[in-house]
Amino acid sequence: MSKKSKYEVGELLVMGPNPEHLGVVVEIEEDFYKTNHGPMNRITIHCETTINKTFYLPEVAVGQAFDGEPGWIKVNDP
């Protein structure tokens, strides 16, 4: 049985060093990565205000820079 994702489709994320870029989670692929620490989810983020409009990254990479990719941070609910 796969782990529940920390994120949901439709959640907003803001890009790390450039906070004017907002992205939305459009897909969560459970257990996409197989690691020594167990399966890991991959999330797909779509951002209309960047040149590379779609970003694919491991769920654990949200909140920190990851292999040169922009750092995405979850937007807090009011």
CA-wise closest residue to 28 among 58, 53, 54: 58
pTM of the model: 0.79
The full 3-state SS of 44-59, as one line of letters, equals EEECCCCCCCEEEEEH
Element containing residue 35 per DSSP (H, E): strand 22-35
**pLDDT exceeds cutoff 90 at 45:** yes
Poorest-pLDDT segment among 34-38, 39-43, 46-50, 58-62: 58-62
Give the bridge partners for 25, in sequence order: 45
